[in-house]
Amino acid sequence: MLDMKRGVSATLLIVAAVLGGIVFVTSAANLGGVTNLFERADAQEDTSTAEAVATAEDLGQAFSSVAERVNPAVVQIRATRVASRRQQDLMSPFGGSPFGGDGTQSGLGSGAFISEDGYVVTNNHVIEGADELRVVLFDGREFDAEVVGADPFSDLAVLEVDSDDFPFITFGDSDELRVGQWVLAFGSPLSEDLSNTVTSGIVSSVGRYSGAPDPRGRTTISNYIQTDAAVNPGNSGGPLVNLRGEIVGINSAIATRTGTFNGISFAVPSNIVRSTVEQLIDSGVVERGYLGISFQAASPALRRAFGASPGAAIIQEMSPDADGDTPAADAGLREEDLIVAVDGVELTDSRQIVSLISSKRPGDTVEITYNREGDERTATVTLGRRPGDDQISGNVRRPQRDDEREPTAAPARMEAYGLTLETVTPRIAREFGEDLEGVAVVEVERSSEAFRDANIRPGMVITEVDRKPVASVSDLEDVIGDIEAGEPFLLRVRAGESSFLTALTKE
């Protein structure tokens, strides 16, 4: 029995030992598995970091490759004007530059070779008014340059250097640009010593429509590429390129409150540049199609009344082209029509008309979609020749300020519309320089539909209501009284030298 018990105990010890070994081995294996998990996690983290670094390095390499290809074709442009102090013009590119001891002023800009035989593209404002132009290349060589042609409307110019075999950059397709795409800006910001500076950024927006005149009051192109690549005075005329090293724009302007880069810059799209440059090289001048209208943005109230789209432009006047023809009128368009699309491109901003038409040439046809009092129609217009610098443009209205008008004796208050009105007096008519009849706007509540949507401001004069002339406040009240509640009605409003159509809703 004792031997049996001893045998059983020995057997149990052996079994326990075996089981313990199994447990030990299993535990060790589990611990090894945990260790392997940490090792794998560390390895994955190292791999992710390495991939991120590699991606960043690849982007940096792309920037470097583009800079190496493009920089040899980028030039610094030094412009000199010989003038007396009396001739200093603050609106010119030389206005802020000092006179030298010899009575000269200097200007600085940038440009790029676009052909091996010496053609350089830059901004018109870089070379305008210059008596001498000199370009400095990336390799230090310097050449005199002559102006082949300049186009103030697009703010572009072409220079020629008398030599050949220059490095040059090709044009890309600016219509393919997408917001968020990387771009590089080249030029000589701020100083001759900072030539061939390269900055990077993204395309912040496309189709920026400024519609603003240049300092001399001339209408300019209104379609820009917006980017956050740093651009400063001196960068003007330099190329904006994509990661293939192609010109997608010419740097032309910045939005700034300080005079230097504040994070937003603008470039003329390459497709406009290419078309303009080709014409300047071929003939020295640029011919653009002319629609033969003046226009402004339709007010929100008017768009609602006619059911027009947000970017609609209202035709104010028909105007003749360089040959005395009226292209838009000849095609059936008339004043107060609302243009909503050009060649199938729906307007999101009325100023698009400028770039859409100016990209065409005289004799080209365009399809204009327009809204005539709620009825949408189309007209095919054969474009005329633009008469000098008088391109189609949105008229700028300048309403009188309250402090420019004398107080009225007994203004009438129309609470429902937030308006204070008075019948036009001889004094008010004299302010407009003619025998004017109507109802003058004395005050407008900023929260009213009249201010917010109909764009009515103090100092304007209402001359028609619901297509009926009004010569007094009582005339206006009588006409509005016949309109059913909830119905929109039209108003013709005089502002300065121009008038426009807008709308209100009968309360």
- 236 a catalytic residue: yes
CA separation for the pair 173, 329 (Å, rounded): 34
Contact 113, 120 (CB under 8 A): yes
Which residue type does 222 have? S
Set 92, 110, 188, 236: catalytic member: 236
Task: Say how far residue 8 (Cα) sits from the centre of its chain.
Answer: 96
Which ranges constitute the DSSP H helices of 294-419? Answer: 300-306, 327-330, 352-358
Helix (DSSP H) and strand (DSSP E) numbers for the chain? 9, 27
- Name the catalytic one among 92, 151, 154, 155: 155
For residue 367, the cross-strand partners are 380
Q: Cα angle vertex 293, ends 399, 215, to 5°?
A: 55
Cα 71 to chain centroid, rounded? 26
252 given a catalytic annotation? no
- Catalytic site residue from 92, 125, 200, 358: 125
* C-alpha to C-alpha distance for 80 and 76, rounded to whole angstroms: 13
CB–CB of 275/224 below 8 Å? no
The Cα 111–Cα 119 span in angstroms is 10
Check: CB of residue 263 under 8 Å from CB of residue 228.
yes
| Assigned token pair, 307 | 């059911």
Tokens 């010109």 belong to 247
User: With contact defined as beta carbons under 8 Å apart, do 340 and 376 qualify?
Assistant: yes
DSSP sequence for 55-96: HHHHHHHHHHHHHHHHGGGEEEEEEEEE--GGG--TTSTTTT
What is the token pair recorded at 27? 């535990």
Query: Residue 468 in 3-state DSSP?
Result: strand
List the catalytic residues. 125, 155, 236
